[in-house]
Amino acid sequence: RYVVFLELFLQTAEKHFMVGHRVTYYVFTDRPGDVPSVTLGEGRQMVVLKVRNYSRWQDVSMHRMEMISTFSRQRFLHEVDYLVCVDVDMRFRDHVGVEILAPLFGTLHPAFYGAAREDFPYERRPQSQAHIPSDQGDFYYMGAFFGGSVAEVLRLASACHQAMVADEANGIEAVWHDESHLNRYLLDRKPSKVLSPEYLWDPQLLGWPAVMKKLRFVAVPKNHEEIR
Protein backbone atom coordinates (compact mmCIF):
# COMPACT_ATOMS: atom_id res chain seq x y z
CA ARG A 1 0.00 0.00 0.00
CA TYR A 2 2.84 2.38 0.77
CA VAL A 3 4.26 1.82 -2.71
CA VAL A 4 2.41 5.03 -3.72
CA PHE A 5 5.15 6.98 -1.89
CA LEU A 6 8.03 5.23 -3.63
CA GLU A 7 8.41 7.48 -6.66
CA LEU A 8 8.88 10.68 -4.63
CA PHE A 9 11.12 8.82 -2.17
CA LEU A 10 13.43 7.60 -4.96
CA GLN A 11 13.44 10.88 -6.88
CA THR A 12 14.50 12.83 -3.78
CA ALA A 13 16.95 10.11 -2.70
CA GLU A 14 18.70 10.41 -6.05
CA LYS A 15 19.29 14.11 -5.32
CA HIS A 16 20.28 13.87 -1.67
CA PHE A 17 21.06 10.32 -0.45
CA MET A 18 24.62 8.98 -0.70
CA VAL A 19 25.25 10.99 -3.86
CA GLY A 20 28.38 9.74 -5.65
CA HIS A 21 28.26 6.33 -4.00
CA ARG A 22 26.96 2.94 -5.09
CA VAL A 23 23.47 2.37 -3.71
CA THR A 24 21.01 -0.51 -3.90
CA TYR A 25 17.44 0.36 -2.95
CA TYR A 26 15.83 -2.80 -1.56
CA VAL A 27 12.06 -2.33 -1.69
CA PHE A 28 9.91 -4.62 0.47
CA THR A 29 6.40 -4.80 -0.98
CA ASP A 30 3.46 -7.14 -1.42
CA ARG A 31 2.66 -5.35 -4.70
CA PRO A 32 5.73 -5.61 -6.95
CA GLY A 33 3.59 -4.86 -10.00
CA ASP A 34 2.81 -1.40 -8.61
CA VAL A 35 6.44 -0.35 -8.17
CA PRO A 36 7.07 2.72 -10.38
CA SER A 37 9.92 3.00 -12.84
CA VAL A 38 12.36 5.69 -11.71
CA THR A 39 15.56 6.62 -13.54
CA LEU A 40 18.53 6.04 -11.24
CA GLY A 41 22.08 7.34 -11.50
CA GLU A 42 25.15 5.35 -12.42
CA GLY A 43 26.02 2.65 -9.87
CA ARG A 44 22.56 2.83 -8.33
CA GLN A 45 19.87 0.17 -8.68
CA MET A 46 16.53 -0.91 -7.26
CA VAL A 47 15.78 -4.47 -6.17
CA VAL A 48 12.13 -5.33 -5.45
CA LEU A 49 11.67 -7.99 -2.76
CA LYS A 50 8.20 -9.49 -2.57
CA VAL A 51 6.87 -9.98 0.95
CA ARG A 52 3.51 -11.20 2.18
CA ASN A 53 0.64 -8.88 3.04
CA TYR A 54 -0.81 -8.47 6.52
CA SER A 55 -4.28 -7.11 7.24
CA ARG A 56 -3.21 -5.10 10.30
CA TRP A 57 -0.65 -2.31 9.91
CA GLN A 58 0.72 -3.31 13.31
CA ASP A 59 1.58 -6.74 11.87
CA VAL A 60 3.28 -5.15 8.85
CA SER A 61 5.34 -3.08 11.26
CA MET A 62 6.23 -5.99 13.54
CA HIS A 63 7.15 -8.37 10.73
CA ARG A 64 9.59 -5.83 9.30
CA MET A 65 12.34 -7.11 11.61
CA GLU A 66 11.69 -10.67 10.44
CA MET A 67 11.94 -9.54 6.79
CA ILE A 68 15.18 -7.64 7.41
CA SER A 69 16.80 -10.60 9.16
CA THR A 70 15.63 -13.11 6.52
CA PHE A 71 16.86 -11.06 3.55
CA SER A 72 20.07 -10.13 5.37
CA ARG A 73 20.98 -13.80 5.58
CA GLN A 74 19.84 -14.58 2.05
CA ARG A 75 21.24 -11.56 0.21
CA PHE A 76 22.37 -8.44 2.02
CA LEU A 77 25.41 -10.02 3.71
CA HIS A 78 26.73 -10.94 0.25
CA GLU A 79 25.70 -7.81 -1.66
CA VAL A 80 26.25 -4.65 0.43
CA ASP A 81 28.37 -3.31 3.29
CA TYR A 82 25.79 -1.22 5.15
CA LEU A 83 22.03 -1.24 5.54
CA VAL A 84 20.00 1.92 6.09
CA CYS A 85 16.46 0.87 7.08
CA VAL A 86 13.87 3.59 6.51
CA ASP A 87 10.15 4.08 5.98
CA VAL A 88 9.16 4.95 2.42
CA ASP A 89 6.41 7.50 3.20
CA MET A 90 9.15 10.13 3.44
CA ARG A 91 11.20 12.38 1.18
CA PHE A 92 14.76 13.66 1.27
CA ARG A 93 15.12 17.43 1.26
CA ASP A 94 18.81 17.87 2.13
CA HIS A 95 22.10 15.99 2.16
CA VAL A 96 22.19 12.54 3.80
CA GLY A 97 25.56 10.91 3.20
CA VAL A 98 28.29 8.71 4.61
CA GLU A 99 28.36 10.77 7.82
CA ILE A 100 25.48 8.58 9.08
CA LEU A 101 27.35 5.31 8.64
CA ALA A 102 28.60 3.40 11.67
CA PRO A 103 28.60 -0.22 12.87
CA LEU A 104 25.18 0.51 14.40
CA PHE A 105 23.21 3.76 14.40
CA GLY A 106 19.83 4.96 15.63
CA THR A 107 17.92 8.21 15.17
CA LEU A 108 16.36 10.35 17.89
CA HIS A 109 12.56 10.43 17.66
CA PRO A 110 11.56 13.96 16.58
CA ALA A 111 8.71 14.16 19.10
CA PHE A 112 10.81 13.13 22.12
CA TYR A 113 14.36 14.40 21.61
CA GLY A 114 13.82 17.06 24.28
CA ALA A 115 11.67 14.98 26.62
CA ALA A 116 12.60 13.72 30.08
CA ARG A 117 13.46 10.02 30.29
CA GLU A 118 10.35 9.16 32.31
CA ASP A 119 8.21 10.66 29.53
CA PHE A 120 9.61 8.42 26.77
CA PRO A 121 6.86 6.10 25.42
CA TYR A 122 8.81 2.94 26.24
CA GLU A 123 7.02 -0.35 26.86
CA ARG A 124 6.52 -0.25 30.64
CA ARG A 125 4.85 -3.64 31.24
CA PRO A 126 7.34 -6.13 32.74
CA GLN A 127 5.62 -9.02 30.90
CA SER A 128 6.96 -7.73 27.57
CA GLN A 129 10.43 -8.47 26.22
CA ALA A 130 10.56 -4.77 25.27
CA HIS A 131 10.09 -3.63 28.89
CA ILE A 132 12.24 -0.69 30.01
CA PRO A 133 11.89 0.40 33.68
CA SER A 134 11.19 4.06 34.38
CA ASP A 135 14.68 4.66 35.77
CA GLN A 136 16.42 3.34 32.63
CA GLY A 137 16.90 4.55 29.07
CA ASP A 138 19.19 6.91 27.18
CA PHE A 139 17.11 8.17 24.27
CA TYR A 140 13.89 7.33 22.49
CA TYR A 141 14.75 6.09 19.01
CA MET A 142 12.54 6.21 15.93
CA GLY A 143 11.76 2.91 14.25
CA ALA A 144 11.72 4.57 10.84
CA PHE A 145 15.49 5.25 10.48
CA PHE A 146 18.20 2.93 11.79
CA GLY A 147 21.04 0.91 10.34
CA GLY A 148 24.67 -0.08 10.34
CA SER A 149 26.83 -2.85 9.00
CA VAL A 150 24.80 -5.74 7.62
CA ALA A 151 26.06 -8.05 10.37
CA GLU A 152 25.01 -5.63 13.13
CA VAL A 153 21.60 -4.94 11.57
CA LEU A 154 21.06 -8.68 11.20
CA ARG A 155 21.85 -9.12 14.90
CA LEU A 156 19.43 -6.34 15.85
CA ALA A 157 16.60 -7.49 13.57
CA SER A 158 16.93 -11.13 14.66
CA ALA A 159 16.89 -10.21 18.35
CA CYS A 160 13.87 -7.93 17.94
CA HIS A 161 12.01 -10.56 15.93
CA GLN A 162 12.71 -13.26 18.52
CA ALA A 163 11.54 -10.92 21.28
CA MET A 164 8.29 -10.24 19.42
CA VAL A 165 7.73 -13.98 18.92
CA ALA A 166 8.20 -14.48 22.68
CA ASP A 167 5.74 -11.64 23.41
CA GLU A 168 3.18 -13.14 21.05
CA ALA A 169 3.47 -16.50 22.79
CA ASN A 170 2.75 -14.70 26.07
CA GLY A 171 -0.25 -12.85 24.62
CA ILE A 172 1.28 -9.37 24.72
CA GLU A 173 2.00 -6.81 22.00
CA ALA A 174 4.49 -4.03 22.79
CA VAL A 175 2.95 -0.56 22.91
CA TRP A 176 4.84 0.71 19.82
CA HIS A 177 5.44 -2.68 18.22
CA ASP A 178 8.85 -3.07 16.53
CA GLU A 179 9.90 0.43 17.69
CA SER A 180 9.50 -0.64 21.33
CA HIS A 181 11.73 -3.65 20.74
CA LEU A 182 14.26 -1.50 18.84
CA ASN A 183 14.49 0.80 21.87
CA ARG A 184 15.04 -2.16 24.22
CA TYR A 185 17.77 -3.52 21.95
CA LEU A 186 19.58 -0.17 21.66
CA LEU A 187 19.48 0.27 25.42
CA ASP A 188 21.28 -3.05 25.88
CA ARG A 189 23.66 -2.64 22.94
CA LYS A 190 24.48 1.03 22.57
CA PRO A 191 24.61 2.33 19.00
CA SER A 192 27.99 3.65 17.89
CA LYS A 193 26.29 6.71 16.40
CA VAL A 194 23.08 8.58 17.26
CA LEU A 195 21.56 10.77 14.55
CA SER A 196 19.78 14.01 15.41
CA PRO A 197 16.11 14.57 14.43
CA GLU A 198 17.41 16.50 11.41
CA TYR A 199 17.51 13.04 9.87
CA LEU A 200 13.84 12.31 10.52
CA TRP A 201 11.34 15.10 10.95
CA ASP A 202 7.65 15.86 10.43
CA PRO A 203 7.18 19.56 9.54
CA GLN A 204 3.38 19.24 9.49
CA LEU A 205 3.27 18.11 13.12
CA LEU A 206 6.35 19.83 14.52
CA GLY A 207 7.01 22.92 12.38
CA TRP A 208 10.64 23.97 11.98
CA PRO A 209 12.17 25.01 15.33
CA ALA A 210 15.31 27.13 15.34
CA VAL A 211 17.35 24.31 16.88
CA MET A 212 17.02 22.36 13.61
CA LYS A 213 19.54 23.86 11.19
CA LYS A 214 18.50 21.52 8.38
CA LEU A 215 15.64 19.14 7.75
CA ARG A 216 17.21 16.29 5.80
CA PHE A 217 14.56 13.57 5.67
CA VAL A 218 10.93 14.52 6.25
CA ALA A 219 7.50 12.90 6.41
CA VAL A 220 5.15 13.23 3.46
CA PRO A 221 1.61 14.41 4.35
CA LYS A 222 -0.80 11.47 4.27
CA ASN A 223 -4.08 10.08 5.54
CA HIS A 224 -2.98 7.13 7.70
CA GLU A 225 -6.45 5.63 7.99
CA GLU A 226 -7.00 5.70 4.24
CA ILE A 227 -3.68 3.94 3.57
CA ARG A 228 -4.13 1.34 6.30
Q: Is residue 225 part of a domain?
A: no
Domain count of the chain?
1
Q: Could you tell me which of 151, 181, 187 has the C-alpha nearest to residue 163?
A: 181
Q: Could you tell me which of 40, 47, 42 has the C-alpha nearest to residue 11?
A: 40
pLDDT digits (tens, 9 = 90+) for 196-210: 999 999 999 999 999
Query: Range with the lowest mean pLDDT among 1-10, 98-107, 156-165?
Result: 1-10
Q: Is residue 54 part of a domain?
A: yes
Q: State yes or no: 161 annotated in a binding site.
A: no
Report d(CA 218, CA 194) in Å as an integer: 17
Report d(CA 165, CA 130) in Å as an integer: 12
Q: State yes or no: 88 annotated in a binding site.
A: yes
Which CA distances in Å does 219 have to 48, 123, 145, 146? Answer: 22, 24, 12, 16
| Residues spanned by the domain of 140 | 2-219
Q: In a 10 Å sphere around its CB, with 0-12 CB exposed, 13-18 middle and 19+ buried, how is residue 42 labelled?
A: exposed
Q: State yes or no: 188 annotated in a binding site.
A: no
Q: Is residue 227 part of a domain?
A: no
pLDDT digits (tens, 9 = 90+) for 167-207: 999 999 999 999 999 999 999 999 999 999 999 999 999 99
What integer pLDDT is reported at residue 228 of this predicted model? 41
Q: What is the pTM of this model?
A: 0.93
| CATH code, domain carrying 161 | 3.90.550.10
Q: Is residue 70 part of a domain?
A: yes
Q: Is residue 109 part of a domain?
A: yes
Q: Is residue 228 part of a domain?
A: no
Q: Is residue 224 part of a domain?
A: no
Q: State yes or no: 81 annotated in a binding site.
A: no
Q: State yes or no: 218 annotated in a binding site.
A: no
Active site residues: 179
pLDDT digits (tens, 9 = 90+) for 57-97: 555 556 899 999 999 999 999 999 999 999 999 999 999 99
Report d(CA 189, CA 196) in Å as an integer: 19
Report d(CA 28, CA 50) in Å as an integer: 6
Q: Is residue 226 part of a domain?
A: no
Q: Do 200 and 112 touch, CB atoms closer than 8 A?
A: no
